Amino acid sequence: MDNSPQNDAPHQQRHTRGGRWLDPVFPTTGWVCRGIEDVGHEGRLCDVCQGVRIRFAHVMTHPDVSQALSAGLGCVEKMVDDPFTAEKRERAFRDDLRIRSDWPRRVWQVSRVGNPYINSRGYNIAIWNKGGAGFGVTIRLQNEFNNEFVRNDRRLFKTIEDAKAGALEILMDVRKERRDIDV
């Protein structure tokens, strides 16, 4: 069996019942996720089961355990009360990574009033020329029938290219703010 993180779905590898799970004082509840890290293609061993290599490390802390543990989703799901949220959190993290890596290759359209725009994950992102002040970015929900969200970001950029790069960071902020999960 190929356990390398290069395969298509490293998160679906079966986490073992070994490692910390064999420790009788290892707490099986009360863990809090502090965030997720992409540890790269080579991956690292899951701190909890110590049996599989993981690409996306959920950083888990517990009041009775001195060190944070980097665990894969398969183990995290057994450490928290709400495995659905852990799965959602990892999905959002991976989606952000994908948006980020695709961004430089995205082709911007030009609106009827001449503004470059792009659509991504339900958002419409447009760049406005603010005269001598520079270029601004507006993000709104793409679906006009459900258009209750508009962000006219206050950041200004010197060039259109700067604004396109800045728009990615603003999109990431908006996605994070509007997500109903805490990390």
Q: Which residues bind Zn ion (CB under 5 A)?
A: 15, 46, 48-49, 72, 75
The CB-of-179 to Zn ion minimum distance in angstroms stands at 25
Which residue's CB is nearer to Zn ion, number 60 or number 168?
60
CB of 125 to Zn ion, least distance (A): 37
Type of residue numbered 183:
V
Is the Cβ of residue 14 or residue 121 nearer to Zn ion in the bound state? 14
Side by side, the strands of the sheet bearing 135-141 are 109-110, 116-120, 123-129, 135-141, 150-152
Q: Which is nearer to Zn ion, 25 or 113 (CB)?
A: 25
Alpha helices in the chain (DSSP H): 73-79, 83-102, 160-178
The answer for residues whose C-beta is within 8 angstroms of residue 58's C-beta and 6 or more apart is 33, 35, 36, 70, 71, 72, 73, 76, 86, 89, 90
CA distance 34 to 126: 33
Considering beta carbons, is residue 85 or 142 the nearer one to Zn ion? 85
**At closest approach, how far in Å is the CB of 24 from Zn ion?**
18
Shortest Cβ 75–Zn ion spacing (Å): 3
Two tokens at 72?
Answer: 């894969």
